[in-house]
């Protein structure tokens, strides 16, 4: 049987809800280098079958709580040093002010982001915590999450590697949490590679956190970075690792596929951005590997073409803020929500606003959190249109 027939059979098997092997996925990728039409068509069919003709986003405010970080990644501009102007150490009053402003803008999500355990490296972080009355960044995040709920916003925390007890405590106030796997390749942690000075990015460490979250039944957003020096096989293996986690625990609510964009003040400033057709191939492969998964690309990192990815597998555009910048990628502004709505409509899709947790995961959270959501929830479990527009 030749590879062309094998690829067709494999893609047909996916359409018939049958799983395909790693070898078949690799063969599908290899064929797509010559022609991606069949792969893209299959991904589009799966997206329509399981996600209909809508595309979701979360209307959010980005809380850059503290951007001191014990790690150093070769592509990151989020991390600050104590002497830098971009240093962020948000006080309780600043958090409160931004929460009330976010509510005024009818945001739904409070995205809380921090560097990786900053108090382990920086005295400035310890003093900041002490000034605000806390012993750890996690304690502060729990308090900030309670403040958000009191205002009527729903917390989603992305604070790097948290131990199981930290996850358990944050679970009480966060409707979902996030931790990027980034890539499963140990090779990327070796000397000269992007994660060499980032001990928290070791794949086994990240997988352990995601396993802990699975055991606790926390709805998790995870994903991979595309274009940081990984191979296509390493991408496939990373998506398969996420699929295995979801098969085991059922708690992966969304996979983010984030395309690398070079930044001038990083070690990887001379790396090229990801070629668009290749990135679309990664998106389509992810859809065939995980046909029912919510798959997202950040629209600000593909500002001129994000809507074209709707036809190759994505069904979500992530958190978008009308109020705050993307502090992780400050060079790339989010498109205006009205523009995204217009571009989505022109591509044949209806834009809808969701909570930081997808409706199919509502059973994972407690009654108190669910009750708070019902004030602005529609019959689909999404945010009522008249609220977010």
With a cut of 90, say whether residue 210 has pLDDT above it: yes
In a domain, 241, yes or no: yes
**Total domain count for the chain?**
1
- Return the higher-pLDDT residue of 34 and 19: 34
Structural domain for 292, as ranges: 45-388
Q: Under a CB-based contact definition with an 8 Å cutoff, are residues 232 and 32 in contact?
A: no
pLDDT bucket at 134, cuts 50 / 70 / 90: very high
pLDDT at residue 5, as a whole number: 47
Structure tokens at 180: 């990027």
pLDDT at residue 2, as a whole number: 44
* Backbone φ and ψ of 107, nearest 5°: -70, 155
With a cut of 60, say whether residue 40 has pLDDT above it: yes
β-pair partners for 182: 224
Cα–Cα distance measured from residue 177 to residue 41, given in angstroms and rounded to the nearest whole number: 32
Instruction: Name which of 289, 314, 243, 291 is nearest 25 in CA terms.
Output: 289
Q: Residue 10: CB partners within 8 Å, gap ≥ 6?
A: 20, 24, 25, 27, 28
Question: Distances from the Cα of 280 to the Cαs of 115, 127, 257, in angstroms?
Answer: 30, 45, 10
* Mean pLDDT (the chain, rounded): 94
Structure tokens at 178: 């996030």
Q: Residue 296: CB partners within 8 Å, gap ≥ 6?
A: 223, 254, 255, 256, 257, 314, 315, 316, 317, 318
pLDDT at residue 1, as a whole number: 40
Beta strands in the chain (DSSP E): 54-66, 109-114, 154-158, 176-178, 220-226, 252-259, 295-296, 316-320, 350-353
In a domain, 35, yes or no: no
With a cut of 80, say whether residue 265 has pLDDT above it: no
In a domain, 247, yes or no: yes
pLDDT at residue 192, as a whole number: 87
β-pair partners for 254: 221
Condensed to tens digits (0 to 9), the pLDDT of residues 346-368 reads: 999 999 999 999 999 999 999 99
Instruction: Name which of 218, 266, 281, 291 is nearest 14 in CA terms.
Output: 291
Cα–Cα distance measured from residue 205 to residue 312, given in angstroms and rounded to the nearest whole number: 31
Tell which phi-psi region holds residue 334, choosing left (phi > 0), alpha (psi between -120 and 50) or beta. beta
* Average of per-residue pLDDT across 187-201: 87
pLDDT bucket at 161, cuts 50 / 70 / 90: very high
Tell which phi-psi region holds residue 382, choosing left (phi > 0), alpha (psi between -120 and 50) or beta. beta
Q: Under a CB-based contact definition with an 8 Å cutoff, are residues 316 and 282 in contact?
A: no
Structure tokens at 227: 């274009």
In a domain, 373, yes or no: yes
pLDDT at residue 3, as a whole number: 46
In a domain, 331, yes or no: yes
With a cut of 70, say whether residue 6 has pLDDT above it: no
CATH of the domain at 305: 3.20.20.70
In a domain, 2, yes or no: no
pLDDT at residue 249, as a whole number: 98
């Amino acid at each position: 049987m030749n590879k062309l027939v094998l690829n067709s059979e494999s893609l047909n098997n996916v359409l018939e809800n049958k799983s395909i092997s790693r070898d078949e996925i690799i063969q599908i990728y290899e064929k797509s280098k010559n022609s991606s039409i069949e792969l893209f068509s299959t991904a589009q069919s799966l997206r329509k079958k399981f996600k209909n003709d809508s595309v979701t986003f979360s209307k959010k405010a980005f809380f850059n709580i503290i951007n001191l970080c014990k790690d150093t990644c070769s592509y990151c501009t989020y991390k600050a040093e104590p002497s830098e102007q971009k240093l962020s150490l948000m006080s309780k009053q600043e958090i409160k002010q931004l929460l009330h402003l976010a509510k005024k803008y009818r945001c739904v999500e409070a995205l809380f982001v921090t560097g990786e355990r900053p108090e382990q490296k920086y005295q400035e972080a310890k003093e900041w915590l002490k000034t605000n009355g806390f012993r750890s960044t996690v304690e502060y995040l729990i308090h900030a999450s309670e403040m958000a709920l009191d205002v009527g916003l729903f917390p989603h925390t992305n604070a790097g590697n948290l131990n199981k007890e930290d996850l358990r405590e944050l679970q009480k106030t966060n409707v979902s949490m996030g931790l990027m796997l980034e890539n499963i390749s140990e090779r990327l942690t070796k000397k000269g590679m992007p994660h060499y000075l980032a001990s928290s990015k070791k794949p086994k460490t990240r997988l352990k956190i995601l396993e802990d979250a699975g055991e606790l039944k926390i709805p998790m957003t995870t994903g991979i970075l595309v274009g940081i020096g990984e191979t296509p096989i390493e991408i496939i293996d990373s998506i398969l690792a996420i699929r295995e986690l979801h098969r085991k625990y059922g708690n992966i609510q969304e996979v983010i596929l984030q395309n690398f964009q070079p930044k001038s003040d990083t070690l990887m400033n001379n790396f090229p951005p990801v070629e668009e057709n290749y990135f679309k191939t990664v998106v389509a492969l992810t859809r065939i590997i995980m046909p029912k998964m919510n798959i997202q690309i950040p629209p600000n990192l593909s500002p001129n073409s994000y809507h074209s990815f709707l036809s190759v597998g994505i069904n979500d555009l992530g958190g978008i803020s009308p109020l705050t910048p993307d502090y992780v990628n400050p060079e790339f502004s989010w498109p205006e929500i009205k523009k995204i709505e217009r571009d989505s409509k022109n591509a044949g899709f209806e834009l809808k606003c969701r909570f930081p947790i997808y409706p199919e995961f509502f059973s994972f959270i407690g009654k108190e959190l669910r009750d708070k959501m019902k004030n602005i929830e529609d019959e689909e479990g999404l945010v009522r249109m008249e609220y977010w527009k």
